[in-house]
Amino acid sequence: MKKLCAISLLLAFLLCGCAQNAPVEREIFAMDTLMTLRVWGDDDDVAAAVSEINRLDALLSVTDENSEIYALNRDGTAEFSLDTFELLNKAVAVSRRTDGAFDPTVYPLVEIWGFTKEEQRVPSQGEIDAALSRVGYEQLERELDVTCVSMDGKIDLGGIAKGYAAQKVVELLQSRGIETAFLSLGGNVQTLGSKPDGAPWLVGIADPSAPSQAIACLRFHDSLALVTSGGYQRYFEENGVRYHHILDPKTGYPADSGLASVTVLAHDGALADGLSTALFVMGMEKATALWRESDDFEAVFITKDGAIFATDGAASLLTDCECTVIER
């Protein structure tokens, strides 16, 4: 079995600021991915941002034996801190909106495909059926009246935790008086404010067939979360077939909706992250229908054959590419 792993990323390009406007920059590895923080503040602000990410990682990690999520998955019951509780509620809200295309109880499936381990493999249909019987966000939804949860299933917040962390870091920096920041947490970009030199933020969308290159570029000022989910970000191959890490909770197999990637733009980082995973599973037709009845996100879709489609709000920010605009 040949294992291939591509680092998940939105390519981030920043125009250089002049010297007095230069940000403090830090690279860290957390939540299983490389993160870059650029903060127009001082070292203490960046240190506070890093500890916030590490604090959330320690609560939410599915593999850290000391995390609250690990405790629930091991014991079937756990007492959650307010952050974990808030994120579980946000996750369930995305599940409801997307008819379960995003499902935080997907972990039994993630486990049998081996996506949290080194060894990935195609499970048998019997294993998939057994895992599917334990997947369903409704069981979690029923439990979420109080911060103590008991359930038979297992939780994986990997599809939403980085977006939540970016959101929390932005809120923390704001509370410290910071007006400008650029965060890239793996595939999750979140900006705070406008660049002091007046230049726009430029964020590239990775080309799914050549992920180190950008297929398109988004240009904007102000605060925004931009999150990409793509089949190219983590996958393995077996007998010449590629299997990626975004699973369809209805079939138990990697989602096969005709999309190579989805980028979601929203003001809330957790929402952008949860929705990017969900829209990838749903495919363009259902995703577009959801967008038409919503007013809190925009999206860019790249199909498996390389065509780019963008909702009208996202299309107005796109440069350096030809795209088909999806109208309301």
Contact residues for ligand AMP, defined by CB under 6 A: 102-104, 106, 110, 115, 156, 158-159, 187, 229, 233, 245-247, 249, 273, 276-277, 281
Q: Which does 115 bind (CB under 5 to 8 A by kind): Mg ion, ligand AMP, none?
A: ligand AMP
Least distance in Å: CB of 45 to ligand AMP? Answer: 27
Nearer to ligand AMP, 152 or 222 (CB): 152
Q: 161-175 and 82-97 helices cross at what angle (nearest 10)?
A: 130
Binders in 143-182 for Mg ion, by CB under 5 A: 159
Q: At 236, which amino acid appears?
A: F
Least distance in Å: CB of 110 to ligand AMP? Answer: 5
Quick check: 276 binds Mg ion (CB under 5 A)?
A: yes
Quick check: 98 binds Mg ion (CB under 5 A)?
A: no
Give the residue closest to Mg ion by C-beta: 277
Q: Which does 201 bind (CB under 5 to 8 A by kind): Mg ion, ligand AMP, none?
A: none
Q: Which does 245 bind (CB under 5 to 8 A by kind): ligand AMP, Mg ion, none?
A: ligand AMP
Distance in angstroms (rounded) separating the CA atoms of residues 273 and 229? 8
Q: Which does 309 bind (CB under 5 to 8 A by kind): ligand AMP, Mg ion, none?
A: none
Q: Which does 279 bind (CB under 5 to 8 A by kind): ligand AMP, Mg ion, none?
A: none
Residues near 169 by beta carbon (within 8 Å), at least 6 away in sequence: 37, 49, 52, 53, 181, 183, 190
**CA distances (Å), 243 to each of 4, 256, 261, in order?**
10, 10, 14
Q: Which does 102 bind (CB under 5 to 8 A by kind): ligand AMP, Mg ion, none?
A: ligand AMP
Least distance in Å: CB of 155 to Mg ion? Answer: 15
Quick check: 263 binds Mg ion (CB under 5 A)?
A: no
Residues forming contacts to Mg ion in the complex (CB under 5 A) are: 159, 273, 276-277
